[in-house]
Chain A
């Protein structure tokens, strides 16, 4: 859940255009993720409005409705449903070539409550060819564990409650290189401290006879990560855009990640804009990750989270936007409707499908087929500018 907040911060920080306040606009989005036995869907509403010449206010409401029977759940728990509601509010203040932004985010679900505050500064310089930005965020998270009662309802386990705090620092640079080319650089350091694993997930260890048993995962209580990204966006001669980026990631848990991302944007027939998207991601496993530990309590830290395994992933996506006008509504300057679909394929190198262990038929623990995840991500949204 710590990641949910770090990400949605983009809604607040990214709009911090130096020298220009964000446009007044409203977006209503429906999102749906389906794959690996999990379905997550819900709405997201984002509204931005200028107040006077110097202020802009942004508010977002986001909701996840989760129905999960993932491979982790199948192994050590039972299917569950969950909701997460998130509200955020941010303010941008423009003063000369500087934009100051600050905001708060509140996220609640039955077993995780997270509050985050952030601050950002953007500065235009060198004839507005260069924008430098700095940001800082601070998060306070309370972690709980739900247990099922005899009647099937859920309640918080009174024997477990913990906390996780986070801090994030980032610097960014956007540079106009030519009349058709923009360059971007971002560097971010994130620190977490506290209870950083799942209170539900288990690892497995081998038992005699080719089987396995489960024990609770144990993560270190600190985590520091560094990420740096480079980005280029080029305007093609026939009014189209090509966007490419690379990100390098490393952390104190031993994960090293590489992300390549490419988007081609092509307007057509006056009112349509089409986007094609390709993304490749690859990572190494955390130092304390193993699909199958040799025995119970074999090391201080234990993880069998797919997210910390060795794998690569390919995502292919398409997006279509249609600009339309709403007659007789003068306060709306522009409006568009957009559909976007992405297909993800994740191939794990050291995470096996433990639900298929069957020593009697020769499938002993550690020899099951490697797990593969296919998922579809769908978005439909309407945007208006006013």
Chain B
């Protein structure tokens, strides 16, 4: 029972402390050199990937969720 109480208090402390501390980016902007490389773009050639997606969807029952949410790495 004592262990449960300690665990509860510890969990509460974690929740309270995290609520007061803003989330810090764990990959700093200066550490994003690799992510900023053009070969890491989710969609390096949009005109080509859109065409190929079209080819697949025209021949498959499945559709959707093939786009990305954008590069979004904040590297540029």
Using a CB–CB distance below 8 Å, which chain A residues touch chain B? 3-4, 6-11, 13-20, 27, 29, 31, 33, 44, 46, 60, 62, 99, 122, 124, 126-133, 168, 170, 172-174, 176, 178-180, 182, 184-190, 225-229, 231, 233, 235, 239-241, 247, 249, 251, 253, 255, 257, 259, 265, 267, 273, 279, 281, 283, 286, 306-308, 313, 315, 338, 340, 342, 344, 346, 373, 377, 379, 381, 383
Q: Judging by beta carbons under 8 Å apart, are B73 and A379 in contact?
A: no
Nearest-Cβ distance from residue B46 to partner chain A, whole angstroms: 6
B18 at the interface (CB under 8 A from A): no
Give the contacts of B36-64 with A (CB-CB under 8 A): 37, 39-40, 42-64
Residues of A within 8 A of B65 (CB): 170, 186-188, 227-229, 247, 249
B63 to chain A, nearest CB (A): 6
Judging by beta carbons under 8 Å apart, are A60 and B47 in contact?
A: yes
Q: Which residues of chain A have C-beta atoms less than 8 A from B48's C-beta?
A: 27, 29, 338, 340, 379, 381
For the complex, give the distance between the alpha carbons of A279 and B62 in Å. Answer: 14
* CB proximity of B39 to chain A, nearest CB, Å: 5
Instruction: Count residues on chain B whose CB falls below 8 Å from chain A CBs.
Output: 48
Closest 10 CB pairs of A and B: A128-B74, A127-B25, A131-B72, A172-B69, A257-B62, A188-B64, A227-B65, A249-B62, A227-B64, A174-B72
Whether the pair B47, A46 counts as a contact (CB closer than 8 A) is yes
Distance (whole angstroms) from the CB of B75 to the closest CB of chain A: 8
Residues on A with C-beta less than 8 A from B44 are 265
From A17, A176, A241, A255, B39 is in contact (CB under 8 Å) with: A241
Instruction: Confirm or deny: B24 has a beta carbon within 8 angstroms of a beta carbon on chain A.
Output: yes
Complex CA distance for A257 and B70, rounded to whole angstroms: 24
A17 touches B61 (CB 8 A): no
Q: Decide if the interface of chain B is mainly helix, strand, loop or mixed.
A: loop
Asked if B26 and A129 sit within 8 Å, CB to CB, the answer is yes
Cβ-defined contact, B64 with A6, below 8 A: yes
When chains A and B are docked, how far (Å) is the Cα of A373 from the Cα of B67?
26
> Which A residues lie within 8 Å of B61 (CB)?
249, 251, 253, 255, 257, 283, 286, 307-308
Q: Which of A3, A178, A338 has the most CB of B within 10 A?
A: A3
Inside 8 A of B43's CB, which chain A residues have their CB?
10, 14-15
A124 touches B72 (CB 8 A): yes
B40 touches A233 (CB 8 A): yes
CB distance from B76 to the nearest CB of A (A): 5
Contact B63 A182 (CB under 8 A): no
Query: Do the beta carbons of A128 and B25 come within 8 Å of each other?
Result: yes
Query: With A179-B31, A233-B42 known to touch, is A14 a contact of B64 (CB < 8 Å)?
Result: no
State whether A126 and B66 are in contact (beta carbons under 8 Å apart), knowing that A4-B58, A239-B39, A273-B39 are contacts in the complex.
Answer: no
Q: Which residues on the B side are within 8 Å of A170 (C-beta)?
A: 64-65, 67
Task: Point out the residues of chain A lying under 8 angstroms from B29, CB to CB.
Answer: 127-128
Does A132 lie within 8 Å of B60, measured CB to CB? no
B51 and A44 contact, CB distance less than 8 A: yes
User: Judging by beta carbons under 8 Å apart, are B63 and A241 in contact?
Assistant: no
Instruction: Please give the distance in Å from A289's CB to the nearest CB on chain B.
Output: 9
> Do B60 and A313 touch across chains, with their CB atoms under 8 A apart?
yes
List 9 A-B pairs, Cβ < 8 Å: A7-B50, A27-B47, A99-B70, A128-B29, A130-B72, A172-B68, A176-B73, A379-B48, A381-B48
In this complex, what residue of B is CB-closest to A4?
B54
User: Is the Cβ of A225 less than 8 Å from the Cβ of B69?
Assistant: no
User: A184–B62 contact, CB under 8 A?
Assistant: no
The answer to whether B70 and A129 have CB atoms under 8 Å apart is: no
What residues on B are CB-neighbors of A283 within 8 Å?
60-62
- Bound Cα distance from A323 to B31, whole angstroms: 26
